[in-house]
Structure formats: structure tokens, C-alpha cells
Amino acid sequence: MNKPLRRVSVFCLTLILALMGWATWIQGAKAGDFKEDPHNPRVAIGKYAAPLGNILVDGKPVTGSAATSATLKYKRTYKDGPLYAPVTGFSSQIFGSNQLESLYGNLLDGSDSRLQSPADALTRTRAKGGDVATTIDSKVQRAGYRALGDKKGAAVALDPATGRILGMVSTPSYDPGKIAGSSAADQKAWQKLSDDTDNPEVNRALRQPLPPGSTFKLVVAAAALENGLYASVDEPTDSPDPYTLPHTRTTLTNENAAAPCKNADIRTALQYSCNTVFAKMAVDLGKDKVKAQAEKFGFNDSKVDTPVRAAKSVYPGDMDEAQTALSGIGQFNDQATPLQMVMVASAIANGGELKTPQLVDKLTDGGGNTVQENGPKTYGKAMSAHTAAQLRSAMQTVVDKGTGSHAKIDGLTVGGKTGTAQHGVDNSGTPYAWFVSYAEDGNGHQVAVAVMVEDGHAARNEVSGNGLAAPIARAMMQAALS
């Protein structure tokens, strides 16, 4: 072979080897990337080639699949879509998915390796989609949804002993079935949803942190008892009325000028929601001790997964004493989600032990066999059993004799705490109404509830945790225990 021909042969062989190497790389190392690329139409075609598995409430599907005449053979359907949208999320042929639909997408569409039989793996056949069984109690969910009505807000009900989320409501809501397909109507519905300034697609129970107002006083009270500032909820505090914020000329007063807040004990201060007592208490404790107590409840934790991740609730660390005082009444830069505040109520109800909130009970394959089961998990010890008992007693006084009277339920022991959080510059906006609570029946079964009403369509002077939020909590507690 002459020299020029040999060079051409070597060059051609090099090209062939390079091509073979590139093909091997594409089909091997990069195959997974292309398979999962949302811009690859085969991903959607495979996902919607057969009916999806379902999300279950009380063991019954709240989702389904409907045949279409398009390339994507099936689309997702929803039963009582607006009621369960904060739980399921959505699965859309063109707009993707979120929440449980997204987190368990591979299980629901059958591509999860745990669902494959040896024959499926050998033939590369997609298995039948599995199911996601939630912890939601349909009675509690419906009670919260009906009670919230046309208000903008959210509510979460939790079993303190297990951490199981029994109800998770967010309003206004939306129907995920209207954006599940790929038609012009689905696209129009998506645009309408995107343009809605009330943001109905936002799960306010998990993703809307707001100032918790006076409900945060429970955290400060726990810190005071745990750190020995006061020995019991019935010991008088050192609390002037009004209270001048440290190093300022600003005086803090109480909503009810006639309330016996001067030097009030913690029980009375919770009963009348005395700002002066808890502002002074936060300063006496110092920001670091209040922060440490808040973090035992879950504040400042950016990885609270239900498994849907909650937005971080914040208790700030960089404050002067005047700011610390305001933070003690749930203002300044305090931020909390309804999930966070139900964790506070849950730990108090459960003797100080905080269970990790969980929304999913178990995962099953297409034949109903369990793939994964989620038992109770302990988040941490938020306080001693003695402190928890003291706070439960004081919260009962709030409902029996104080600002939480609208949460009373015949035949149940109920404890609660109201909150009305300032909103806007110089409190110019409509305040947020909060209520956190727990209830217990005669057999020791408990439920904890947190409610936040962002906009209750009420006049500003009519907004209160007792008036707007407590009835919603009462409805969910009654549904859970009666």
C-alpha cells in the first residue's frame, strides 16, 4: 500500500472509531439524560401511553386517567380537583407537574425501577403505574375547605402522635384537571391561572410564610419556662403596661386596654394576648434563647419535607433589643407557614415531642403491593413534658375564658391561641388572622390545627384570629375527632 492511500485508510478508520465511541457514549452514559429531558417528546409519549397510577385519599383515588385521540393517549383527571389540589398538585401534558404528581412521577407512570419485574427489565417494558396513598382524612379536608370558603388563606390539621397530615387546605384553589391536557382550552386555562393575582396555584399551607402575630407567643412562653425565667404559667411576670421598647421612646400597648396585663402571669397573658408581657419576656430571655427555642419547633430549617418541601419559616438572629421585643409578639421579621405553626401546637399537645409532618402513608405497585411504607418519625424534643403540660393548660384557658372562645367544641378538650398580625407599612394593610390549636377526646386521641386567613373580606377593625380563623380550626378538629 502506498503512503497516501495508507494515510487515507488510517484517517477513515479514526473517523469510524470516533463515531463508534460517540454512539456508545450517547447510548450508554448519556442515555439517561436524553430519556429524562423534558424537551424530548418521547418522555411525554411514554408517560401518557397508559393510564397513570393514582393518588389516594382514604384508600380511594382522587385522580384518574382519560383516553384521548391525540399522540399522548391518556391525560390526567381529578376528582374534586380544587379540594385536593394542595395535596396532589397537577400533572399536565404540556406544563409539567408539581407536588406529589412530580415527586412520585416515576412511580405513577410505571418507570420506577422498583415496579419492574425481571421480565419487564429484560424486555424494557414499562410497568403498570403505582399508587401514592396519602395520610389525608377526607372529612377533615372537606371541613377545612368549606370553612375557609371564599377567604384567602390556608389550614393544616396534624395528628400529634404520628405527624400524619390529616388535612391541608389552601384557598383560593384551582382545578388541576383544566390544565392536564394539551388542547387550546388547557392552554387558555393555564394562562388564566398564571394571570390570577391571588395565585391560586400556590400552596399557602406550605409555601406562604407570613408574620405569625400573637401565635408566636407560645414559642416565647415555652422559652421562658424551659430556661427557668418563670417556674410556671401561674407565676407573675415582671411586665409594665405600657412597655417602652428598649433604647427608644416607642411605647407598646395592648389591644384591650382594660386587660389585666401589668405583671400578668403567662396564663393570663395568653388569655388576653398581652403584647407587653411577651415583648418584655423576649428581651429578658435574649434573642439567642428565643431563637434556640424557635428552632426546636422547626424555624430556620430549610429542609422540612412532607415530602413536598415547605418554605422556610424564619426567626431572625440579627436584632437589637427593641427588635427582639417586637419579634416576641410575632412581628418584626418573624415569618411562619401554617405548617410551622401547627408543628408548634403539635409539640405542645404531644408532651413536647415533635413528630415530622408527613403527607404520604405508603407507595404501592400496580398490583397493590407495598413498595415503601412511611412510619412516624421524630423531628426532635421541643420542650419537656412539664412545660408542654403547662402550656396545654394555659391554651385551654384561652379557649374557655379568653380570646379563643369560637373554638369551643362540646365533649372535647380544646386549647388554642389567637393571632392578628400586622400587614403593610405602619400596619396600613388588612391584618392576617391566625389561630393555632389542639383538641383531645375522652380516649386521648388528639389533633392539632393551624389556620391563617390572609384576606377574609372583612373590615379591618373586624379582623381577628377568634372571629375569622378559630371557626375554621373548630370545624377541622370536630371532623377529626367526632
Q: Kindly indicate the confidence band of residue 123, based on its pLDDT and cuts at 50, 70 and 90.
A: low
Dist CA 93 CA 97 (whole Å):
9
Q: Kindly indicate the confidence band of residue 126, based on its pLDDT and cuts at 50, 70 and 90.
A: confident
Judge whether 101 and 108 are in contact, CB under 8 Å: yes
The answer for residues whose C-beta is within 8 angstroms of residue 146's C-beta and 6 or more apart is 475
Burial of 8 (0-12, 13-18, 19+ CB in 10 A): exposed
Dist CA 184 CA 187 (whole Å):
5
Dist CA 387 CA 381 (whole Å):
12
Cell of 186: 388547557
- Give the catalytic positions in this structure: 214
| Residues 159-206 pLDDT 10s | 999 999 999 999 999 999 999 999 999 999 999 999 999 999 999 999
Superfamily the domain 210-481 falls into: DD-peptidase/beta-lactamase superfamily (3.40.710.10)
At CA 133, angle to CA 131 and CA 134, rounded to 5?
Answer: 140
| Residues 269-296 pLDDT 10s | 999 999 999 999 999 999 999 999 999 9
Q: Where are the domains of the chain?
A: 210-481
Question: Mean pLDDT for the chain?
Answer: 92
Distances, alpha carbon 151 to alpha carbons 202, 407, 458, in Å: 14, 18, 10
Dist CA 359 CA 61 (whole Å):
15
Please report the pLDDT score of residue 27 as a whole number.
65
Secondary structure letter of residue 466 according to DSSP: I
- Answer whether residue 461 shows pLDDT above 60: no
Judge whether 437 and 416 are in contact, CB under 8 Å: yes
- Answer whether residue 403 shows pLDDT above 50: yes
Which residue, 269, 209, 437, is CA-closest to 345? 437
The answer for residues whose C-beta is within 8 angstroms of residue 400's C-beta and 6 or more apart is 408
pTM metric for this prediction: 0.90
Is omega for the bond preceding 242 within 30 degrees of 0, making it cis?
Answer: yes
